[in-house]
């Protein structure tokens, strides 16, 4: 029987756990929603000993990768997957980036370093843009009054529905190691998504604001400091993956 160990049972990894359990797999996981404490070396090593597949969604900490630092020596016999970020590519001034683009030049330098370490370990590294899905989407921000429209002509983002990430990881079970961008087919301005959600909800969209007037958090400001379109052709070509939600319209309709 296939058995998965997930390091960091967060939003996306929890959806993955549900999917593989539905396939008849067993799952162990660390994190507040998991059944194993990350610091319990005995329990983690026992789970690793029976794991056929290991997935980490643990972000960098202190400039390094906590999973590889603590348990890297016990990895290698299993199928390895790592949930990374397309932020490793940095700012492309709106241009397309694929897996051949250089990494480590943007604000996500720690993430890029961890990404590289997992590649060296033989993992399938899934580079993810903005993630949305049930309970985590522009619908929630518009309904709560926390959505912003920022006046930045030419600014575009890529995004991905959480269930398409899960499908991409599962497709990667039979694919070669390496990096894979998982993004939908239509990068677009965040304003476009907010406007569509407002229309679907019958609400007036929030007013356009400058970055300065929007009073965004440092994390959100970093989000707007980079501009790129993420190409997904390798995952389609090599893994046979296709996003079920090919653009924000399809994804929003499913959430509505």
Domain membership of residue 121 (yes or no) is yes
Intervals of the chain under pLDDT 70: none
CATH number of domain containing 169: 3.40.50.720
Closest by CA to 130, choosing from 70, 58, 195, 186, is 186
Contact 81, 169 (CB under 8 A): yes
Note whether residue 17 is domain-resident: no
Reported as a single tens digit per residue, the pLDDT across 181-200 is 999 999 999 999 999 999 99
- Dihedral angle computed from the Cα positions of residues 137, 187, 94 and 91, in that order, rounded to the nearest 10 degrees: 40
User: What tokens does 122 get?
Assistant: 């033989």
Considering the domain boundaries, does residue 40 fall inside one? no
Strand, helix or coil for residue 162 = helix
- Is residue 230 included in any domain, yes or no? yes
pLDDT at position 98, please?
Answer: 98
pLDDT of residue 37: 98
The answer to whether residue 61 is domain-embedded is no
Of the candidates 162, 131, 129, the one whose C-alpha atom is nearest the C-alpha of residue 14 is: 162
How many degrees, rounded to 5, is the angle at CA 121 between CA 118 and CA 127? 25
Picking from 136, 122, 252, the residue whose alpha carbon sits closest to that of residue 193 is 252
- Residue 18 in any domain: the answer is no
Contact (CB, 8 A) for 189 and 155: yes
Nearby residues of 103 by Cβ (< 8 Å), 6 or more positions away: 88, 89, 90, 112, 115, 116
Q: How many domains does the chain have?
A: 1
Q: Where in the sequence is the domain holding 184, given as residue range(s)? A: 78-255
Give domain status of residue 191, yes or no: yes
Q: Judge whether 120 lies within some domain.
A: yes
């Amino acid at each position: 029987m296939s058995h998965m160990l997930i390091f960091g049972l967060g939003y996306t990894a929890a959806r993955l756990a549900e999917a593989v359990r539905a396939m008849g797999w067993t799952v162990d996981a660390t994190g507040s929603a998991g059944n194993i404490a990350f610091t319990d070396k005995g329990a983690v090593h026992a789970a690793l000993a029976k794991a056929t597949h290991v997935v980490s969604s643990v972000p960098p900490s202190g400039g390094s990768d906590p999973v590889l630092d603590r348990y890297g020596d016990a990895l290698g016999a299993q199928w390895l997957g790592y949930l990374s970020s397309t932020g490793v590519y940095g700012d492309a001034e709106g241009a397309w980036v694929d897996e051949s683009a250089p990494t480590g030049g943007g604000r996500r330098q720690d993430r890029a370093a961890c990404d590289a370490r997992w590649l060296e370990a033989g993992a399938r590294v899934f580079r993810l843009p903005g993630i949305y899905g049930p309970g985590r989407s522009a619908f929630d921000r518009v309904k709560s009054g926390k959505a912003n429209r920022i006046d930045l002509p030419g600014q575009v983002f890529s995004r991905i529905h959480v269930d398409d990430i899960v499908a991409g990881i599962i497709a990667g079970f039979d694919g070669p190691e390496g990096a894979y961008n998982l993004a939908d087919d239509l990068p677009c301005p965040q304003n476009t998504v907010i406007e569509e959600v407002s229309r679907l909800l019958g609400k007036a969209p929030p007013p356009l604001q400058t970055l300065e007037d929007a009073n965004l958090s440092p994390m959100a400001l970093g989000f707007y400091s980079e501009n790129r379109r993420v190409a997904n052709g390798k995952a389609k070509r090599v893994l046979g993956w296709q996003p079920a939600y090919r653009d924000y319209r399809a994804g929003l309709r499913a959430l509505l």
